Amino acid sequence: MIRRRHLFLSERSVPLPRWLEAFPAAEIVKPAALAVKVGPVMVWLHLSSRTDVAQQVLATVAAAAGNPVVALANTPNDADGLACLEAGAAGYISALAAPEMMRQVVGVVANGGLWVGPELMRRLRTALAGQRAPAQSEADQLVVLSQREKEVAQAVAAGASNKEIARALGITERTVKAHLSAIFKSLGIRNRVQLSVLVNGERLAPH
């Protein structure tokens, strides 16, 4: 597995102590400096209260060159969590999360999974159900996918990481990522959260 550096994007001049406790060699930079820092990194975006969270995540994901982005919120809430995940964040946690939890996040996200925490996931499912739009049945929506793409989509909806999917299907993680890119394009979605919702019969309303 590629060893990633940990890069915290924050308007703070110094990192929170628990960030360095989790990752002693972590760097902290202003969000605008991400473009000159990309490489194999785990990007931790400390959300600002002065700007729309979805726009912050969208801009960071675009500049992260394929590296995972985890959003850190001073006061986490369901609406912002959903917005961050829809915008492409790989995780959403409190900026004051325990170092142990932050290291757990890395283990999940580095293998292609999403981290939102069990309690928030339950709340997000409720929120997603309330935002669904009239849609075709799951079978109609997935008919455009190949059999292998359907298998990958169903595994993602079940919460499997890329590594777990690759092992189960006897393919490489690179191939899993290629299938996911094709699935997202075919279904007109952006991320694993939307795919999970669609496979479970709850298509997100367009924004």
- 5-127 shares its CATH topology with 134-199: no
Contacts of 79 (CB under 8 A, 6+ apart): 127
Residue type, 202: E
Phi and psi of 114, rounded to 5°?
A: -110, 140
The C-alpha atoms of residue 86 and residue 79 are separated, in whole angstroms, by 11
Q: Residue 178 is encoded by which pair of tokens? A: 């290629």
Phi and psi of 94, rounded to 5°?
A: -70, 140
- Whole-prediction pTM value? 0.70
Residue 115: name the closest of 186, 168, 192, 188 by CA.
192
Top-confidence residue, 119 or 18: 18
Contacts of 179 (CB under 8 A, 6+ apart): 148, 149, 152
Cα separation values, 180 from 54, 81, 124, 125, Å: 22, 22, 22, 21
Per-residue model confidence as pLDDT tens digits over 50-76:
899 999 999 998 888 888 899 999 999
The C-alpha atoms of residue 133 and residue 115 are separated, in whole angstroms, by 25
Task: State the Cα angle at 55 between 73 and 193, rounded to 5°.
Answer: 70
Bridge partner residues of 115 (DSSP):
91
Rounded mean pLDDT, 95-108 = 93
The pLDDT of residue 164 is above 90: no
In a 3-state reduction of DSSP, which class is residue 18? helix
The C-alpha atoms of residue 150 and residue 66 are separated, in whole angstroms, by 24
Level-2 CATH architecture, domain 134-199: Orthogonal Bundle (1.10)
Domain layout of the chain by residue ranges: 5-127, 134-199
Q: What is the mean pLDDT of the chain?
A: 83
The C-alpha atoms of residue 122 and residue 81 are separated, in whole angstroms, by 12
Top-confidence residue, 203 or 20: 20
| Predicted pLDDT of residue 44 | 97
Top-confidence residue, 143 or 96: 96
Class of domain 5-127 (CATH, top level): alpha beta
Share of the chain above pLDDT 90, in %: 43
Highest mean pLDDT, choosing among 34-43, 68-77, 110-119: 68-77
Start-to-end C-alpha separation, the chain: 36
The C-alpha atoms of residue 152 and residue 97 are separated, in whole angstroms, by 31
Binned at pLDDT 50, 70 and 90, residue 203 comes out as very low
Query: Radius of gyration over alpha carbons of the chain, in Å?
Result: 17
